[in-house]
Amino acid sequence: MTTSPTPGKVHHGRNIKRLREMLGIKQESLAITLGDDWSQHKVSRLEDKEVVEDEILQEVGKALHVSAEAIKQFDEQAAINIISNTFHDFHDNATASAMNYQCSFNPLDKIVELYERMIKDRDELIGKLEKILDRRV
């Protein structure tokens, strides 16, 4: 039987687990990052602890690229809300940006310019090769 955490009570281990999972990091990978003293089993036990010592929180935070304070204060529901709101904002802004995008040059002009340059380079190369052949004969 799993018990739900008491409202307002922080569970450091569960926060570490949620952050690790959100970042797509496996326990074994986190253990390797933390050093030789760590194993997958030790990370698993850490994630079961309600209160984690500050020194270990600092280590884990560094390995996950977050602050120890972020681990202590992590609120999964708030993170989901932020991600959800950011996604919609991004989508709306991207659509608006795409609708307002106007090219400052004519792409066809650029293609013609490129072909003209390629023809000129080809003609110069043919001229150089003809000179080399004339010297040999």
Task: Report how far residue 104's alpha carbon sits from residue 113's, in angstroms, rounded to the nearest whole number.
Answer: 16
Confidence at residue 36, expressed as pLDDT on a 0 to 100 scale: 92
Give the pLDDT of residue 125.
Answer: 93
Torsion of CA 42, 46, 71, 86, to 10 degrees: 70
Closest residue by Cα to residue 70 from 3, 20, 5, 4: 20
The answer to whether 62 and 69 have CB atoms below 8 angstroms apart is: no
Rounded to whole angstroms, how far apart are CA atoms 53 and 16?
A: 13
Q: Is 82 helix (H, G, I), strand (E, B) or coil?
A: helix
Neighbours of 28 (CB within 10 A): 14
Question: pTM (2 decimals)?
Answer: 0.54
What CATH number is given for 12-76 in this structure? 1.10.260.40
Pick the more confident residue, 96 or 64: 64
Asked if residue 93 has pLDDT above 60, the reply is no
Q: Is the pLDDT of residue 137 over 70?
A: yes
pLDDT digits (tens, 9 = 90+) for 19-50: 888 888 999 999 999 999 999 999 999 999 99
Question: What integer is the mean pLDDT of 108-112?
Answer: 83
Q: Determine the average pLDDT of the residues in 94-113.
A: 65
